[in-house]
Each structure stands twice: as C-alpha cells, then as structure tokens.
Structure 1
Amino acid sequence: METILVPDPGPGEALVQVQTCGVCHTDLHYREGGINDEFPFLLGHEAAGVVEAVGDGVEDLEPGDFVVLNWRAVCGTCRACKRGELQYCFATYNAAQPMTLEDGTPLSPALGIGAFAEKTLVHAGQCTKVDPEADPAAVGLLGCGVMAGIGAAINTGGITRGQSIAVIGCGGVGDAAIAGAQLAGASTIIAVDVDDKKLEWAEGFGATHTVNAREVDVVEAVQELTGGHGADVVVDAVGRPETFRQAFYARDLAGTVVLVGVPTPDMTFELPLIDVFSRGGAVKSSWYGDCLPSRDFPMLVDLYRQGRLDLDAFVTERITLDDVESAFEKMHHGEVLRSVVVL
C-alpha cells in the first residue's frame, strides 16, 4: 500500500471519493505492460463514488453527486464530435494535474481514472450522474467491462429483435454482451468458451445455447445452431488471433464481426482477402462498446433498478484494496466475473 497525493481540483476537474472499483482485465494488461510502459501506474477504473469537490468552470456537477466514472469525457470539438459521433471522440479529456507519490513521482492513472484509491482526480466530464439509490458495486462496472460488452452487442454489432448472435469468451465482457443481446430481443444467443463453469454463468445472463470450444469445432457448432448459415453477429470478447478467426468464419453472409477483447501489441492476424470480400458484411472493433456515457449509463442503471438488467450477478466478490493481487490471480484462473474493491 502506498500513500498518494491528490491535488485539489483545478478548472474542469472533479475530486471523487471512491466507493467501489472493479478489478478489470484491462488493469492486468496495464500491470503487465500490455498497454504502455508509462510506469508507475495507479490502476483501477471501473468505479463509482461521490463527488467531493469541483474546480472552476464545472457547472453540471456538484459535491454530493453520486457518479459512475468513465473514460470517455467527450471534447465536443474534434472531427468525430463535430460530425455528431460523440461516442467516437478522438480527444477525450482527463484531469490536467497529476496524482503523485509522496516523493513527487507522477502516477499514470489507468484509463485516466486511477481508482484503486480512496480518492481520485478526474476531468468533470468523466463523472456521469446516476440514480443514487443504486448499488455502487454493481453500477460501477458500467465504467468499463459491462458497458463494453453490452455496447459491443447493441451499439457496435447492432443486434436486434429476432437475430442470432454468438459470443466467444464468457468472462465479464462476454456475459455483458449476452445480457445486452437479451435486452435487444435476440432470438438465438450462443455462448462459446472452453470452461463449462463460464458457460453455466452465460446461461444465467440469457444464453440460449452453449458451445465448449475444447470439445467441438466452434464455426461448425455456430452454423449448426443457426440453420447452417452462421450468426448475424459474432462478438470476440477474447481478442486473440484464433478466436477472431473463429468469429470471422462463424458469422452469416453479410453478418457482423465485433472485436471487443483487447489483443496484446505483439499479436498479428492473416486472412485471405477474398474471404473478406466474398462474405460481405462488416468487421468492426468496439471502443468502450461505442458508448456515450451521458446517454447510456443512466439508461442502463434505470434498467437495473427496474430488474431488467442483473448487474448484481456480475459481482462475484467484494474485497479490500489489499486483495487486488489475489483478485488478479482469480481472474487469471477464471474463478470470478468481477472482484469489486469496496472502500
């Protein structure tokens, strides 16, 4: 455990007292150097908390507001924002001031948040106000993994009523994609994993069929479950060359492949170009589920409060900051969907 120094909020910034923060696989990527090498990192980004103070110029946020933190504080002026596609903002904001160790060493906050701490400094646009009656441990997960999965299915993949979807990789992001597909009214929801326990979890989130990739050919199994055609949408929530290949060939003609699992920088992928042409459709990557936090977080929290989206089911265990390393180990072995740090 380390003491960190958190500045008072400057113009456009907010100081947030962290209540909960999920342990996400992206944090593990940071720790292992899979994102960048700007050590030392302050990890943690799937967080909910209460605004303690705001800086000058902050008008729509005040102390006491219950917020879910996000890493897409849209700028409003980049070329994506100017064409009305704020969910793709190319110049998202973070706090201008660094948090530091006691010796003055600046910290690199994961995804501009850094919430494995009692307090964190963020840009005010990274704070999304939601229903204060919601459980912070559950709704905080919208800050990354759950939103990424739901958005990959609905926003990026465009899954809709009566369509079929296959989701490869049934961790937190994959199960969120399954939950999103169920919300959207998909008729056939196929969960693919190598772990029977994870496939059982996936059924709880709405999977209508399961495929154990250790036992059968994934592409053939998905085609068999979709009338011999392949799924309308296939989501790769793993992010490896072999799973992306399965996703590409498991979709129907004119279907959509969505990559939401995060590959490491060393991974490469080769595909016959004629197969890209002849299958038609779309191959997309999903950035944060192509979400707009100000639009999507309150809506999904409302669905949670109505009992239509079971965010509680993603919370496998509640832990303390001292338990983060053991949570990484449990994640590596597939024992949890989400460990959530409660401060």
Structure 2
Amino acid sequence: MSSRQGKAVLLNAPNTPAVVEDILVDPPGPNEVLVRIVASGVCHTDLTVKKLEGMGMPFPIVLGHEGAGYVEEVGEGVTHLAPGDPVVLAYRAPCEQCPACRRGDPRHCYVALRPKQRIHRKRDGALCSQVLRCGTFSTYTVVHAKAAIKMPSDMPLDKACLIACGVVTGVGATFNTTPVFAGSRVAVIGCGGVGLSVIQGAKLAHARQIIAVDINPTKLEWARKFGATHTVNARETDPVAAVRSLTEDGYDGGVEFAFEATGIPSCIEQAVRMLAYGGTATTIGLPAATDSVTLNLGDMATGVYWNKAALRVCHAGDTLPSHDFPLLAQLYLQKQLNLDDMVTRIIGLEDVEDAFHEMETGNVIRSVIKLPA
C-alpha cells in the first residue's frame, strides 16, 4: 500500500518547541504493524527527551510513547493481529535473543524489539526518530508487531493508553520488581502518575499500611483517593521520622517496602532509611547522569548493614507487556484499577507544549491527547 498522510508532534531541533507538522508514514514492513492512534498520555519522559535535547536520538523526533489505537495494516508474517484490532503500544517488547531472554527471563530483556523508521516529515522527507520506538503523538505510527498488545473490545482506549507506561511502571514495581506481600507496610515517595500507580499496586496486593510522601498537598489528596492509608507532607516534617513513627511496632518501626518515584537522589536515601529490618527500597524515577547517593552502613536502626536493607531498580515495571497489559485492562474493567481519575485533562496534538508546562507547574496527573476514533 502507499504511504499515509497524517500529523505528528515533532521536535525538529534542540531547544525548540514541539510543533505539529504533516507527516508521511510508510506501510509496515515484515513483523510490523501500522496503528492509527486515538489516544496518548503525555508522560514526563517525553518532556525529558525535550529537555535533554533529544536524549541521543537524531532529529526530527516524533514524541510520545504512551499510546493506544487501532491496527490499520499488518506487515508480512504478522498473524496474531488484524486490521481493526484495538491495541496499546509497548516500548519493551522482549527481543528473545539477549542473555536474559535466552535464560527465560524476558522481563529483564536487554534490548527491546524495534521497527524500522517509517515516519517522514512531509515538507522535506526527513526520516523521523520515534520516542521509545513508539512515537504516539501522531495520527499514525509503525511499531514492531509484538509491541502492539491487543485490548478487550470494551476497554476504552483513552484509559488504556495510560497502561503503556505510567501505570504499568507503578503497578509493575509492586507486582514484578519488588512483589509486595499481603499485610505489609509500604511507603511511596512521590505521588505523580507513577507514584499513584504504585499506591494502587500496593492496594491490589493487600498491603495493610500505605504511606504516601510528597511536598504537594494536592498530590497527597490524590494519594488518599487512590488508596493511601496515611500521608506525610515532607515539606512540613522529616519524612523518615514520620514514616517510622507511623509504623512503630516495638522494633524501631519502618516499612517492608519503600518505593521512590521522583528520581531525586535524596529521596532514594530516605527510602532506604524508612525500611524495617530486611526491607527493600525500590527506585523508579529517572536519575541524571551525574546523580549519586550516600547510604549509611552502620546505624543500628536505619543503616544498610545492620538493618539488612536491600535496594532494587525498577525499569518500566519490569513488564512483560503481552501478559501485564491485558491483566491491567481486566483489573480496570473489574473496577479494581482506577484509571478514570488519572486523566486530569483531555487535549489535542496542538496542546502538547502547554501540557509540558502544566506538568512542571500545575496539579496534573495525566494529560491525554484524544484523536478522532
């Protein structure tokens, strides 16, 4: 088939605004699918790509990676999808070839499957990069067929798109990276979209105490709505002391699980110091290249050695999309996972720059781009 014309939000050069431009999208190649996007969440990673001047990708760049839509066309060899199928796009489809995949651990795949570049800027034919192999701030995109995960027919795609990154990262942190057990105590530092998803995951795992920590009172209110049993305003009090006080059990207090969803080094240090004996801290937020943390070893109550503390790293919820995405969709349809209240604003492609501004300065969980279905 011939190329399709559409529109996309492009970064054309470093230190320039994201703009809507006409694009041409080539047909999918072998093991690829062309998807008509109908909804995409605006994730902080997209803003990070802009701030870091493309994060190593050649310009122009199609932004967006938290997308859902309908399969329009399938490439050679694709048998599990057909035109018209509703899908959510994953950016971590396992490669099946790396050491982790070969040892039967696709959740820790080293290299995700990727499509060939199929999107061109119309005005000059320039080949576009796609953020995290997706490029969902667009009317059309092409992805590897195993990265397009079929959704139930009754799953609304303007909610399903959130599963692709923020939700699976947070819930996956509690299900896959560091499985939370029933009756445990959990602290969550940072209550944006990912942190709120951690809270939902801990609730689904039947944690008995979920303590939300943030400096924004609005976000702490959101945390209560999504399942936090206690909140701590870290601007008003020492969050480590507050968490340990709330969990005092005669053994110095502390939580079995602490999740950091900010990317701020001091918050990682706080997460470790919040742990009960033998607890695990999990860092989720994206750090800068020069970030480092200092961990005390010898303190009898909070030191890593005597408290037998563990530290884990969560990448995208260590997700296996073919399993996890349908599971999260089913939890939503069963009213166990709240995606409706995570959508703060509905916007168009032309509103992405404003959404980035709101992300930094306003009280927003997710802005969702909606395109005609």
TM-score tier, shorter chain, comes to over 0.9
Partner of 2:7: none
| Rounded Cα–Cα distance in structure 1 between residues aligned with 2:308 and 2:120 | 50
| Rounded Cα–Cα distance in structure 1 between residues aligned with 2:27 and 2:263 | 39
State the one-letter code of the partner of 2:239. V
Partner of 2:324: 296
Specify which of 177, 186, 205 is matched with residue 198 of structure 2: 177
Specify which of 93, 98, 114 is matched with residue 94 of structure 1: 114
Deviation of residue 105 (structure 1)?
A: 2.1
Specify which of 31, 36, 39 is matched with residue 55 of structure 2: 36
| Rounded Cα–Cα distance in structure 1 between residues aligned with 2:136 and 2:80 | 22
TM-score, normalization by structure 2: 0.89
The answer to whether residue 367 in structure 2 is matched with residue 339 in structure 1 is: yes
Q: Is the 2:89–2:148 Cα contact (8 Å) retained in structure 1?
A: yes
Partner of 1:121: 142
| Of 159-168 and 29-38, the range deviating more from structure 2 | 29-38
Q: Kindly report which structure 2 residues correspond to 1:176-215, keeping only aligned pairs within 5 A, or say none.
A: 176-215=197-236
Specify which of 279, 304, 325 is matched with residue 276 of structure 1: 304
Give the 3 Å change call, closer, same or farther, for CA 100–60 of structure 1 in structure 2: same
Higher gyration radius (CA): 2
The answer to whether residue 260 in structure 2 is matched with residue 236 in structure 1 is: yes
Specify which of 278, 282, 306 is matched with residue 334 of structure 2: 306
Partner of 1:7: 26
Deviation of residue 100 (structure 1)?
A: 2.1
Deviation of residue 60 (structure 1)?
A: 0.8
Specify which of 73, 96, 105 is matched with residue 85 of structure 1: 105
Give the 3 Å change call, closer, same or farther, for CA 34–257 of structure 1 in structure 2: farther
State the one-letter code of the partner of 1:181. A
SS in 2 for 1:262: coil
- Give me the CA root mean square deviation: 1.3
Deviation of residue 77 (structure 1)?
A: 2.1
Partner of 2:10: none
Deviation of residue 35 (structure 1)?
A: 6.8
Deviation of residue 206 (structure 1)?
A: 0.3
Specify which of 274, 279, 282 is matched with residue 255 of structure 1: 279
| Rounded Cα–Cα distance in structure 2 between residues aligned with 1:73 and 1:106 | 23
State the one-letter code of the partner of 2:104. G
TM-score, normalization by structure 1: 0.97
Specify which of 160, 165, 168 is matched with residue 147 of structure 1: 168
| Of 321-330 and 270-279, the range deviating more from structure 2 | 270-279
Cα-to-partner distance string for 1:232-287 (whole Å, 9 max, x where unaligned): 10000001111111111111121111111111223222334554333324211101
Give the 3 Å change call, closer, same or farther, for CA 90–18 of structure 1 in structure 2: same
Partner of 2:270: 246
| Rounded Cα–Cα distance in structure 2 between residues aligned with 1:154 and 1:215 | 31
Corresponding pairs, count = 343
Q: Kindly report which structure 2 residues correspond to 1:132-143, keeping only aligned pairs within 5 A, or say none.
A: 132-143=153-164
Deviation of residue 85 (structure 1)?
A: 1.1
Q: Is the 2:27–2:118 Cα contact (8 Å) retained in structure 1?
A: no
Cα-to-partner distance string for 1:100-145 (whole Å, 9 max, x where unaligned): 2121322221111001010001110110011121111111101001
Partner of 2:344: 316
Unpaired segments of 5 or more residues in structure 2? 1-19
State the one-letter code of the partner of 2:231. T
Deviation of residue 289 (structure 1)?
A: 0.5
Deviation of residue 34 (structure 1)?
A: 7.0
SS in 2 for 1:90: coil
Partner of 2:40: 21
SS in 2 for 1:216: coil
State the one-letter code of the partner of 1:247. A
Deviation of residue 336 (structure 1)?
A: 0.6
Give the 3 Å change call, closer, same or farther, for CA 61–30 of structure 1 in structure 2: same
State the one-letter code of the partner of 2:292. T
Q: Is the 2:54–2:61 Cα contact (8 Å) retained in structure 1?
A: no
SS in 1 for 2:88: strand
SS in 2 for 1:341: strand
Deviation of residue 160 (structure 1)?
A: 1.6
| Rounded Cα–Cα distance in structure 1 between residues aligned with 2:101 and 2:348 | 39
